[in-house]
Amino acid sequence: MKIEEFIDPYAGQSWGDLGARIFTSDNQVSVTLGYPTDGGRDVLAKQLAEHLGVPDISLELQFAAPRRSPGKSAELAQVKNIVLVASGKGGVGKSTTAVNLALALDAEGAKVGLLDADIYGPSQGMMLGVDDGRRPDVKDGKFFEPIRAHGLKAMSMSFMVTDKTPMVWRGPMASGALQQILGQTLWGDLDYLIVDMPPGTGDIQLTLSQQVPVAGVVVVTTPQDIALLDARKAVSMFTKVDIPVLGVIENMSMHECPACGHVSHLFGEGGGARIASETGVPLLAELPLDMAIRQQADGGTPTVREAPDGPLAQRYREGARHMAARLWALEKAQDAAPPVISMVDD
């Protein structure tokens, strides 16, 4: 079997079709992929060895992010991919998923920023452990320096106001504030800017889809029928405004009893998979209902940072790999390139 025929388990396509850069020398293989996967190297090495019919492979992985968000301003010029994390309704754990997804990409080896676009209910400041009252530095009187937290570059309305200040704004005011925060933040060089969206399909969603070069969107839902109904609407809305839906994440998918290990599907079963099948998008992850996820986010150290090698964090990291690989596949679908293979004699 040829190495370029290897089907990438996250992108679902061959490395040849994806245009992966491949270098081989004996049983040593170096591959540049379009998604970060520091935690997935061992799995890829095992699968590649099975594909080639050899006992083992020494696999070295490099990462080069695709560029699907051409920046229209100097502040966004170095942001390669702007990814929205959205939901059709509130209460599905979208913000917790967004921060852990951002941290998962960081843990896998990417440069990541996080924008809290939920103007009315910003929560990322608390989830990232940013002290109440801490404000971003201002450069040249108009540009914000993002706050560094857990390895992320973060910006949120919660950095501008206190947690007791309600945002009593009409839709256009909120959309204008969001555009200002996004466009006047010095993001610098980022592989991914994760945007935690407000729930629903309103002004802010339309503003971002029309004004910002969005690479794709992830829709978060729970298995409940009412949440699935709204998730379908969210998928439909983003499809209509030509933003690729990278996949669905089902949150609160199941609960495992810590005492006996019994698994209960408290809010229904298989809803996320049905949405994915009906809309033709991938199911990126099924995340459990676990008290630790809530406690760690509320405590300012989300799950992926608190226990990066634990089973809960691994679910987020798997979902992040699938999401990022989907972006790579979408880029190559638009501009297919053949692989570059070099044979080296030692």
Whether 120 and 266 map to the same domain: the answer is yes
Q: What is the pLDDT of residue 20?
A: 93
Question: Is the predicted pLDDT of residue 335 greater than 70, yes or no?
Answer: no
Domain membership flag for residue 207: yes
**To 5 degrees, how large is the angle CA 30–CA 31–CA 33?**
155
Span of 72-76, 242-246, 301-305 with lowest mean pLDDT: 72-76
Predicted confidence band of residue 72 (pLDDT cuts 50, 70, 90): low
Whether 84 and 53 map to the same domain: the answer is no
CA distance 116 to 146: 12
Mean pLDDT of the chain: 87
Question: Is the predicted pLDDT of residue 155 greater than 90, yes or no?
Answer: yes
Number of domains in the chain: 2
Domain membership flag for residue 328: no
> Which CATH number is 94's domain given?
3.40.50.300
Whether 156 and 217 map to the same domain: the answer is yes
Whether 84 and 107 map to the same domain: the answer is yes
Question: Is the predicted pLDDT of residue 235 greater than 60, yes or no?
Answer: yes
Whether 119 and 170 map to the same domain: the answer is yes
Question: Is the predicted pLDDT of residue 94 greater than 50, yes or no?
Answer: yes
How do beta strands 192-196 and 112-116 pair?
parallel
Which one, of 112, 113, 116, lies nearest residue 36 by Cα?
112
User: Side-chain half-sphere of 8: how many Cα atoms within 13 Å?
Assistant: 29
How do beta strands 245-250 and 138-139 pair?
unpaired
Domain membership flag for residue 327: no
Annotate 284-346 with three-state secondary structure.
Answer: EEECCCCHHHHHHHHCCCCHHHHCCCCHHHHHHHHHHHHHHHHHHHHHHHHCCCCCEEEECCC
Percentage of residues in the chain having pLDDT higher than 90:
55
Q: Per-residue pLDDT tens for 177-205? A: 777 888 889 999 999 999 999 887 777 78
Q: Per-residue pLDDT tens for 95-120? A: 999 999 999 999 999 999 999 988 77
Domain membership flag for residue 279: yes
Main-chain dihedrals φ then ψ at residue 131, nearest 5 degrees:
-60, 135
Q: Domain limits at 174?
A: 74-308
Whether 245 and 126 map to the same domain: the answer is yes
Q: CA 138, 210, 189, 85: dihedral to nearest 10 degrees?
A: 100
CA distance 154 to 122: 12
Whether 90 and 53 map to the same domain: the answer is no
Question: Is the predicted pLDDT of residue 334 greater than 80, yes or no?
Answer: no
Q: Which residue has the tokens 């040829």?
A: 2
Q: Per-residue pLDDT tens for 143-153? A: 899 999 999 99
CB 233 within 8 A of CB 154: no
Whether 14 and 102 map to the same domain: the answer is no
According to DSSP, residue 190 is labeled B
Whole-model pTM: value is 0.91
Bridge partners of residue 343, in order along the sequence:
24
Question: Is the predicted pLDDT of residue 345 greater than 60, yes or no?
Answer: no
Predicted confidence band of residue 267 (pLDDT cuts 50, 70, 90): confident
Predicted confidence band of residue 170 (pLDDT cuts 50, 70, 90): low
Q: What is the pLDDT of residue 52?
A: 92
Span of 85-89, 92-96, 266-270 with lowest mean pLDDT: 266-270
Whether 144 and 49 map to the same domain: the answer is no
Domain membership flag for residue 254: yes
Predicted confidence band of residue 337 (pLDDT cuts 50, 70, 90): very low
Whether 57 and 106 map to the same domain: the answer is no
Q: Residue 136's Cα: distance from chain center in Å?
A: 24
CB 122 within 8 A of CB 337: no
Whether 252 and 218 map to the same domain: the answer is yes
Q: Per-residue pLDDT tens for 29-45? A: 999 999 999 999 999 99
Q: Which two tokens stand for residue 164?
A: 């007791």
Domain membership flag for residue 221: yes
Domain membership flag for residue 318: no
Bridge partners of residue 249, in order along the sequence:
220, 285
Q: Per-residue pLDDT tens for 135-144? A: 889 888 888 9
Q: Per-residue pLDDT tens for 318-327? A: 999 999 999 9
Whether 210 and 282 map to the same domain: the answer is yes
Domain membership flag for residue 201: yes
Question: Is the predicted pLDDT of residue 279 greater than 60, yes or no?
Answer: yes
